Amino acid sequence: MTKFILTIFLLLSVTALHSQPKITIKEKSLPIFEKIIVADMLKVTVVRGKENSIKVTADDDGHKSLVIKVKAGVLSVYQNGRAQLNFTPGPANIHKAIIDQEIVITTAQPIERITISGNAFVKFSDPNTLKSFGLRADDSSDFEGTISCETLSAHLTKNSGADISGKIQKLKIVADSSVARIYNVTSDVSDITLTNKSRLNASGKTGVFMLNISGESRFEGIGYESRDAKVDAAGRSDVFFKATTTLVLNAKERSHIVCTGLPKVTQNVTADCKIKIR
């Protein structure tokens, strides 16, 4: 009977622990910043507003190691003592106490650059409109947002990812062992590099499309229409895209290329490649 009562008590204790309501732990105004750094498995949503501020919602213990600081126009949000975390990047290693934190950053000005690392996630809830935007994501981190700008440069490494939409005059993406998606993007020039089994899905429209792909990477962009395209493919990579006027194609090492739009083609292709122009 004693063992039965003890079991019931433990079950009720665990249930109460997991049903504990979240409360707002930190909410404060911030000085002006144009760049954001997020690290250490944190999840951040960025919204536009009239004043700069940050709000953290968590359980009673989830906020204690959180560091928030602004220096030289850069807002940094990370866990204190992050060097001692010693985690292996990957979704399975995200700590529950950190998942339970909800961090909302309100900014009165456009954000020029986002740097994310250590399984962190940053989302723009509202469109970010400015002259140029930079993104760096490492160590299984992710970004999601709508950007309208003249130039956008994104660098993704170590199993990171990005979902990007918007009107971008010049788009540059470099992905190494990472995954990206560009959707409903309108651009004048798209310059994309994929290496080490990277993946990129694309939809929208661009004037000039340049792709350098290798290391068993894959570009899926039949729905991403370009006027003129230049594709360099190697290392058993797969490329699916659309070009309507011209295509300069260099392919080797058993790469697989499918192009729709019936462009005028200039090609240098080895015999082990599979090429289909239609």
In a domain, 171, yes or no: yes
In a domain, 191, yes or no: yes
The number of distinct structural domains making up the chain is: 2
pTM of the complete model: 0.86
CA distances from 221 to 44, 95, 196 (A): 29, 35, 19
CA 96 to chain CA mean position, Å? 22
In a domain, 268, yes or no: yes
CA distances from 102 to 36, 67, 125 (A): 16, 14, 14
What residues contact residue 58 under an 8 Å CB cut-off, 6+ apart? 22, 23, 25, 97, 100, 101, 102
In a domain, 1, yes or no: no
Answer yes or no: do 137 and 233 share one domain.
yes
Instruction: State which residues form the domain around 98.
Output: 22-126
Answer yes or no: do 110 and 32 share one domain.
yes
Answer yes or no: do 110 and 232 share one domain.
no
Q: 8 pLDDT band (50/70/90 cuts)? A: very low
Answer yes or no: do 70 and 157 share one domain.
no
Instruction: Say if strands 102-107 and 53-58 run parallel, antiparallel, or are unpaired.
Output: antiparallel
Q: Tens digits of per-residue pLDDT, 147-194?
A: 999 999 999 999 999 999 999 999 999 999 999 999 999 999 999 999
Answer yes or no: do 219 and 144 share one domain.
yes
Answer yes or no: do 203 and 232 share one domain.
yes
CA distances from 257 to 110, 177, 183, 235 (A): 39, 20, 21, 12
Answer yes or no: do 186 and 71 share one domain.
no
Of 126, 152, 179, the residue at which a domain comes to its end is: 126
* Two tokens, residue 116: 């994310």
Q: Tens digits of per-residue pLDDT, 25-43?
A: 778 899 999 999 999 899 9
Long-range contacts of 18-25 (CB under 8 A, 24+ apart): 20/59, 20/60, 22/57, 22/58, 22/59, 22/100, 22/102, 23/57, 23/58, 23/59, 23/60, 24/55, 24/56, 24/57, 25/56, 25/57, 25/58, 25/62, 25/63
* DSSP letter assigned to residue 86: -
- Rounded Cα distance between 23 and 102, Å, is 10
CATH number, position 117: 2.160.20.120
Of 76, 110, 126, the residue at which a domain comes to its end is: 126
In a domain, 158, yes or no: yes
Q: Tens digits of per-residue pLDDT, 159-172?
A: 999 999 999 999 99
